[in-house]
Amino acid sequence: MEIKKGIGVSPGVVISTAIVLDAEDLAIPRRHIEPQQVDQEIKRFQDALDKSLVELNDLRAAVTVKYSKEIGGIFDFHIGILKDPSLFEPVVSAIRNQKVTAEYAVSVVLRRFASNFQAMSDRYLADRVKDIYDIERRILHNVIGLKQESLGQLTYDAVVIARDLLPSQTAALDRTHIKGFATDVGGRTSHTAIVARALGIPAVVGLGNLTAEVSSGDTIIIDGNRGVVIINPDDDQLVEHREYERKREAIEIELKELQNLPAVTKDGHVISLQANIEFPEEVNDAVARGAAGIGLYRTEFLYMASASEPTEEDHYRAHADALKRLDGRPLVIRTLDLGADKYTQAKQVVPERNPFLGDRSIRMCLHNIPMFKRQLRAIMRATVLGDVRIMFPMISTLMELRQAKMILNDVVEELEDEGLPFRRDIPVGMMIEVPSAALMANQFAREVNFFSIGTNDLVQYTLAVDRTNEKVAGLFCPAHPAVLTLLRDVIRAGHRNSISVSVCGEMAGEPLYTLLLLGLGLTIFSMNSPDIGEVKKIIRSTTLEHARQVARRVMSFDSERQVLHFLREETRKIIPEVF
């Protein structure tokens, strides 16, 4: 038995038999051709390109029908690359001028594309390298005439173990028999991770050398909740995880019964449970699971799913779609959180040395006001369609907040001059994600209508731990007393200034922290939709006074170990099936 720790990118636990995919790296030798063969090689390339486009259009259509337009839109990037003259012309030029085979020219040009992507330190952009490899693999298969291997025809249940899964491979997985996957490399932001979440199968990535340690036929446990993979578990581990699966099935039935009940404590205090979403289609699932609204609407998908920057109308249509599905429930739209680990087309020619501390989020928007205004205009136009609230991310200084509000005021004046309808009373809030904002919460509270605490980044910046780096994953802990002190102080500042405070980071959806957050005075939790049920069960099973007692005890501890142990024991009394 061996336990491997990686990055959980899609929740769930599965025990099944492994299928190990060999890494496919086609060796393409440099082979010269005769001058009279040039036109023939160019035709081979053109035919392969045409066939690849047909395949990708079919794949996009199938994925759109099966999952959503946004998931299908991932392959717009692939199609856009195939149609781009910057791919076609260099390949034809290499064939014609260097007198080389079509496959060699394709390999050289696309590897050069990949190198250009990898040279940038943006994590989203780095993850797009896999899309380039996916495109190269598809064209080469069609040039050479190889049959693409498929995992769509399995006749037995299995989990896939691979060096990496390309987006098209992931989208083609047969959910009937593929119960999960784990890979050596990868991150939370890749298209592969996005597709895995859409598939609804457990997935763990960033496991290092997993493929070297697993053989096809091995028994594997994939725990997408904790980011753990267990190779050939012993009897005790199998019993434990099978029991865990059984308990999860039982509790899911119980949680389903709570979906339409209010999140109210036993002593009558009403709590608002909201959802975090990336795509408008996710609203339906959130509402079905009992969400009172959307507390965090991430808008970056419009950039991820397209080869060009979205227009004002692209933004407006997405917001309008989400509001229609919400049917009057609130929608908190976070303005663009691009940069660092987020992909954007308009990236610097010279990469930043440390993008996580660089030109990201609100800083990037303030440096690209036309782009910022496009989204703000779309948001303001959407205010007449429902309960819209606007939220600025990664605010670290009062000047940044005031500049953002000033640009919003400029947009309001422009829309007024143009005679376009909008609501003036839109609530404006900010995310508390960096220690400077948390420490100055009282001053910020006088300038906004609400706070939303992004615990993922707040923990990262407070503890100086990259939350996407598996090497230091053990140091990333929301239970650290320093983090809890900041959370308490921000919530208190909100109360003192009569503005609402929510938590929209992963901490909000983790049942382990529900009693603590409730006891600290939090009344709005925003989380991934599947987490709503467990959090609601805890809220409905306790009193506010008990939660306050828990919070007082926790705030007396001086180590995260004490905090976690105590919270686990208290939560186990309410949901023993989970803890």
Residue pair 277/294 in contact (Cβ under 8 Å)? The answer is yes
End-to-end CA separation in angstroms for the chain? 23
Return the ∠ at Cα 398 (arms to 373 and 386), rounded to 5°.
45
CA-wise closest residue to 95 among 138, 42, 152: 42
- Calpha distance 110→101 (Å, rounded): 14
Structure tokens at 267: 């002593």
In this structure, are residues 250 and 236 in contact, taking their beta carbons and an 8 Å threshold? no
Distant-in-sequence, close-in-space partners of 399: CB < 8 Å, separation ≥ 6: none
> Rounded CA gap, 32 and 41, in Å?
11
Using DSSP bridges, classify how beta strands 228-231 and 219-223 pair: parallel, antiparallel or unpaired: antiparallel
Query: Exposed, middle or buried: residue 168 (CB in 10 Å: 0-12, 13-18, 19+)?
Result: buried
437 in the Ramachandran plot: left (φ > 0), alpha (ψ -120 to 50) or beta? alpha
Q: How far is CA 242 from CA 127, 144, 235, 246, in A?
A: 34, 46, 10, 6
- Residues 514 and 483: their CA atoms lie apart, in Å, by 15
Determine the Cα–Cα distance for residues 190 and 187; give it in Å rounded to an integer. 6
Three state DSSP letters for 94-159 = HHHHHCECHHHHHHHHHHHHHHHHHCCCCHHHHHCHHHHHHHHHHHHHHHHCCCCCCCCCCCCCEE
Q: Which residues of 36-55 are buried (b: 16+ CB within 10 A; e: fewer)?
A: eebeebbebbeebbeebeeb
Cβ pair 286, 331 in contact under 8 A? no
Decide if 80 contacts 310 (C-beta within 8 A).
Answer: no
Q: Give the H or E element holding residue 219.
A: strand 219-223
Among the listed residues 510, 519, 443, 446, the one whose alpha carbon sits nearest the alpha carbon of residue 487: 519
Cβ(512)–Cβ(571) below 8 Å = yes
List the one residue out of 194, 200, 323, 329 whose CA is nearest residue 274: 329
Phi-psi region of 135 (alpha: psi -120 to 50; beta: other; left: phi over 0): alpha
Host H or E run for residue 77: helix 74-83
Please give the positions annotated as active site.
191, 504
Query: How is residue 467 written in tokens?
Result: 């939350």
CA separation for the pair 371, 333 (Å, rounded): 16
